[in-house]
Structure 1
């Protein structure tokens, strides 16, 4: 400070500006104190007052900034502009706009720096009437001809939803600046019109305007939304030619673009070539791997960010939490929850919503409820995550209650995802009346038209009630072509209720839509086998062989002590196979089998190979992968802890019955996640109600 005293007001002004650029409040306050104490009697001269007002406003301290403004006997437009600009930049739009009439009452006129900040504040408020008034003032004052003012006005009209005004204003610009072009492109992407952004970029180049990093990012975002791979990859070449390939923002946009086009290798190549990587870079590549079913690699990248010293952000944690459900990694999710708490971002709405979603998809509905109930703020994503968790468990009554709470107390209107989750919960919970009422009145009540996912839920709902013919009639009247999920729901209902004729119709449709899916052939074969129509069952299996379709082998896995243990039917490769086979099957399983038989369980040999004799069939069903995984769980996981098993295929009927009996006999909670849903076994009952 001694040097500042020696050099005078310019040095003080420089110190204040340094405080702004470094965002150092300590330096700013110290400089202000020295100005008052050592150099000048109050009031502070306007020259330094403007610098101090700008500093406090930019550092989001409007009270001292406003106090300095009020102490200035002759405030200038620069003083007001500094405070208005700081308020607009720090998301205080009301304060910025309230200062405008004060400026006018001080007999001052706004300049070409004041109006862009006011227009930005109006855009943040999304208030069309304010936007129109500011535009009118810009016209009357003659400032609308300024390039920065008109560009800010175009952006404001986009943000406030007055798209026609934005187009007219943009078209009337005598010379369109890159700022205006960027406003048009960026807002087109945000408003859900990516084609307009692509068109604007082409017009920009036709006008011989050179794009900048904002232009490239907007164009890449548009290509990512439209999945225009070739167009985006051509722009990549253009970016390299213009020398923007080293720009971190453009690099991040390229990573995101390639990821959304399912080009993981290209995204990784761009990421690896970035000389500078920021938080967004790491989050983008994590999301790329997570969205393209490479959850393990996504998690490894997250660990790499921590090793490099990056502090977890809300976006990073919410992104990596999505990988836990794909990995069925409840333990990973718990550790990430702990990281969120330690980083003090567990209260963030995006992290909270991701935690609810993670716990729901990992089958831990109680933990999802605990996070959900503890959130001070909830958005539509949060409510949808909670409803999805209940749907996966088939808990229709609670899902309907939460939906009612969302509409009445949450102040949130449902979207298509909400209704799919709710219909799925009704279907899995057997709530025929509520589900059909929701389906029939959704367009009238919520303005949402059903699509394939909702029709699949309705077919599943009717199928559970044994109303396959009615479900088939609804399918025939669908306004769009039925998808695999719709016909699959009907085929499964026919399997449960033994409707061979209708099952054949559904299967034929599925064979045409997805000819290489072995599951549909197996389902149809099982329908015939259950009805004792062995020749037709064998014929379906033969068709599979003739066209080269191979049934995916059943595989189950269980996590214990941070290791994933994988089992296949009749698998002997596990390192503890001897213990599982000898200790559990010979001793424990023999005892369990006696107790299960006493409780009423008999092996359902319909799910074994039909060529085998009865005694061999019984042996077959005891060697299914989920039973081997359960054996390992009973051996290793202590009493009191839930046993969590994952399977790549639908759990078979015999395994389902066996696990039900085991859960009651050994007094354990067993959670099995197959490729259809969660099965939560407790006290000889399953959450699916024996329909899946």
Structure 2
């Protein structure tokens, strides 16, 4: 008997080895032959061998055969149940898996892992988290595999609150130093947009691998910390961490991140482009050295890098050297997008035709790239025609076309297309809602914006920070800063974009003190300001009572955090210093700036104008047009003409005005005409001012008459003042300014009866004078006083 038993053991061991080979090589047909042999030898009750057979069926996705084996087993252990459960989970038969899971006499961590993983992988993340909660409530300790699935589900749902609770559990059970769990946690925070949490999670990974570093590079790129991301890649190379094609593709994406950040700064853009190009070329060389030049995904990333950096020559050389089997629809799409980016929609169209002639079927991305290319060329009509030819446009196509209208300034057509999209039954996503909210904000359509808000609540986008930022901006630009504040205060999760939107909303509604208080609160909560944060808060500093003190504090903070060389922040700093009266300090900073754009020049010229230094403003304007890099725009001319007006340089201003269209191609607008009328009026040249008004395209705009009336008050020109006031009464009967100015002119000449008559006329027509405000900076804080408050104090 012992010999028989020993022989049986040796046979079972041989079968076990054979079945393991079948599992390794997915030899199901051989496994079935071994099954028949097992039955013939009377080994049908060997639980271990039948478990291996079920495992083989699971690996070969043969669930029916596996279930027959399972049902025929006389003795099952927990491994048998887990093997059958794993087979169902792997094949995606979740209902069968659920039923089997419910019937299991005993469950271990593997059982729960199988179900949680299957639910997470098949888009049932909510259910996966529910099963995980049940597992924990039964006192089972999750493994690294369980937690990886759970964090994946949290990331897919953007459920960072649940993810943070699980993070606490990870620390509690001692898996916080496990690289597998650390990578999953890092990925969850990245998908939820919690970039600072992701950075901290990366810091907790003891031995980062290629997955950790690739993920954190993407996170840093999202927060515009591109140089830090590239530093991570260099660290990866120095530490000898394996670099694969995925890592190289990720870092190539970084080489295009900053190309479009400063489109107005010609010098800065060219330097940024050359820097990006150099880094991209280095990665290209490294990919060849590592033998990845035939990797299709990496090739597409290289094409994307070159096209986004504007080097279509290099992209074309790579593309032309590809073999037919190395080209995919993605490859064609990248090239079409590249031509679209370079405003060569003609070449993009030729490429599309060639793509179709070679048997490639364009997909939605192809058409979206064509749409974008047409819009860049200003050919929105062709883009719309292409869109209308799509039989069933998907959401991405709708978004692309709506965005095209929005970016071209045609908000009305964007809203119409959104309505058409709704009538077609296409549900908007966060991108659609954000663009439409931008259109509502641009047109001041408060009621339509409220309807979009209702649509966002219906679509469960209310907690989405991306949509919330758009809502805050919309309410603020429609003059409803209180509603924006309520929405912001109710948000459980916020990012820097939300904070920036709220600060900007308060600023555009002249609630600068509240914006500054919000900035300080943001800093207390360890939110890292961006260029936009500093640009917004600097605009507020220039309007606050203690502006110089607060402005210097913010300036020091900007220098400390390395934003002083940013062209947009630098422009805002110049504006702030000028508004605080420190024009010389602003000019020193202007001269030291490594990069300047048109906005920078405009701010400095306007700063001179604001502070009565007209000759310096005109001299700087001359320097600007003499430079080969900057062209004056409409705002430049408003600034320099204002400087001429305030500085008494009438003829200089007229010469510059006459050069606008002729030499610089800038069509004069109402603001430019107003500056000249103001300049002539201040100089007392009223006959020329009246003659110049006849040249104004919009003579019915009250502002030009108010400017002339103000000049009449300075020079005591009662006759003209009376005519101008009558014109203003006709254009805007409820405007108090002409009444007050005319009454003041009469009073200044001692004509009290006529001044009283104007006041009585104002009262009879029920025209109310807007109250004046004053700011006083006292120890307990800033205090606002109305004009009537001072009268009451005097009484």
What is the TM-score when the length of structure 1 is the normalising length?
A: 0.72
Query: Does the alignment pair 1:463 with 2:658?
Result: no
Query: Does the alignment pair 1:396 with 2:610?
Result: no
**Cα distance in structure 1, aligned partners of 2:527 and 2:309:** 29
**Cα distance in structure 2, aligned partners of 1:242 and 1:519:** 48
Counting only pairs closer than 5 Å after superposition, residues 59-70 of structure 1 correspond to structure 2 as 60=255, 62=280, 63-70=282-289
**Cα distance in structure 1, aligned partners of 2:250 and 2:784:** 61
Aligned equivalent of 1:415, options 619, 633, 641: 633
Query: Does the alignment pair 1:77 with 2:296?
Result: yes
**Cα distance in structure 2, aligned partners of 1:272 and 1:567:** 29
Distance 1:99 1:240, change over 3 A: same
What corresponds to 1:53 in structure 2?
A: 248
Deviation at 1:307, TM superposition (A): 0.9
The Cα offsets for residues 156-206 of structure 1, whole Å up to 9 and x where unpaired, read as 332343434423332333432221221111122112222222222223223
Counting only pairs closer than 5 Å after superposition, residues 484-523 of structure 1 correspond to structure 2 as 484-515=702-733, 517-523=735-741
**Cα distance in structure 1, aligned partners of 2:638 and 2:241:** 64
Indicate the SS of the match to 1:145: coil
What corresponds to 2:417 in structure 1?
A: 200
CA contact (8 A) 1:69 1:79 kept: no
Deviation at 1:25, TM superposition (A): 7.0
CA contact (8 A) 2:380 2:404 kept: no
Indicate the SS of the match to 1:113: helix
Distance 1:221 1:144, change over 3 A: farther
Counting only pairs closer than 5 Å after superposition, residues 170-249 of structure 1 correspond to structure 2 as 170-249=387-466
Aligned equivalent of 2:375, options 155, 158, 163: 158
What corresponds to 1:354 in structure 2?
A: 572
CA contact (8 A) 2:578 2:607 kept: yes
Deviation at 1:77, TM superposition (A): 2.5
Deviation at 1:475, TM superposition (A): 2.6
Query: Does the alignment pair 1:345 with 2:563?
Result: yes
Query: Does the alignment pair 1:532 with 2:757?
Result: no
CA contact (8 A) 1:92 1:121 kept: no
Indicate the SS of the match to 1:72: coil
Aligned equivalent of 2:494, options 247, 269, 277: 277
What corresponds to 2:693 in structure 1?
A: 475
Distance 1:267 1:558, change over 3 A: closer
What corresponds to 2:317 in structure 1?
A: 101
What corresponds to 2:549 in structure 1?
A: 331
**Cα distance in structure 2, aligned partners of 1:573 and 1:495:** 25
Distance 1:365 1:514, change over 3 A: farther
The Cα offsets for residues 287-333 of structure 1, whole Å up to 9 and x where unpaired, read as 11100111111111111111110112111000111112222512211
Which has the higher mean CA deviation after the structures are superposed, 126-135 or 158-167?
Answer: 126-135
**Cα distance in structure 2, aligned partners of 1:553 and 1:164:** 50
Aligned equivalent of 1:21, options 188, 212, 215: 215
**Cα distance in structure 2, aligned partners of 1:25 and 1:472:** 62
**Cα distance in structure 2, aligned partners of 1:513 and 1:53:** 65
Distance 1:131 1:407, change over 3 A: farther
Distance 1:178 1:504, change over 3 A: same
**Cα distance in structure 2, aligned partners of 1:458 and 1:512:** 23
Which runs of 5 or more structure 2 residues have no equivalent in the other structure? 1-176, 181-207, 218-228, 256-278
What corresponds to 1:606 in structure 2?
A: none
Indicate the SS of the match to 1:293: coil
Deviation at 1:569, TM superposition (A): 8.7
CA contact (8 A) 2:725 2:738 kept: yes
CA contact (8 A) 2:210 2:241 kept: no
Deviation at 1:488, TM superposition (A): 1.7
What corresponds to 1:289 in structure 2?
A: 506
The Cα offsets for residues 608-643 of structure 1, whole Å up to 9 and x where unpaired, read as xxxxxxxxxxxxxxx9xxxxxxxxxxxxxxxxxxxx
CA contact (8 A) 2:293 2:299 kept: no
What corresponds to 2:276 in structure 1?
A: none
Deviation at 1:143, TM superposition (A): 3.2
Deviation at 1:464, TM superposition (A): 2.1
Indicate the SS of the match to 2:543: helix
Distance 1:220 1:36, change over 3 A: closer
What corresponds to 2:183 in structure 1?
A: none
Aligned equivalent of 1:435, options 653, 659, 666: 653
Q: How many residues align?
A: 555
**Cα distance in structure 1, aligned partners of 2:512 and 2:359:** 56
**Cα distance in structure 2, aligned partners of 1:117 and 1:3:** 35
Distance 1:205 1:434, change over 3 A: same
Which runs of 5 or more structure 1 residues have no equivalent in the other structure? 5-13, 38-47, 578-622, 624-692
**Cα distance in structure 2, aligned partners of 1:460 and 1:152:** 49
CA contact (8 A) 1:53 1:83 kept: no
**Cα distance in structure 2, aligned partners of 1:294 and 1:33:** 51
Distance 1:276 1:465, change over 3 A: same
Query: Does the alignment pair 1:541 with 2:738?
Result: no
Deviation at 1:526, TM superposition (A): 2.8
**Cα distance in structure 2, aligned partners of 1:392 and 1:98:** 49
Query: Does the alignment pair 1:257 with 2:478?
Result: no
The Cα offsets for residues 433-467 of structure 1, whole Å up to 9 and x where unpaired, read as 11122334433333434333223212211112211
**Cα distance in structure 2, aligned partners of 1:36 and 1:497:** 79
Indicate the SS of the match to 1:143: coil
The Cα offsets for residues 20-55 of structure 1, whole Å up to 9 and x where unpaired, read as 223277887787789899xxxxxxxxxx85344334
CA contact (8 A) 1:80 1:99 kept: no
Deviation at 1:354, TM superposition (A): 0.8
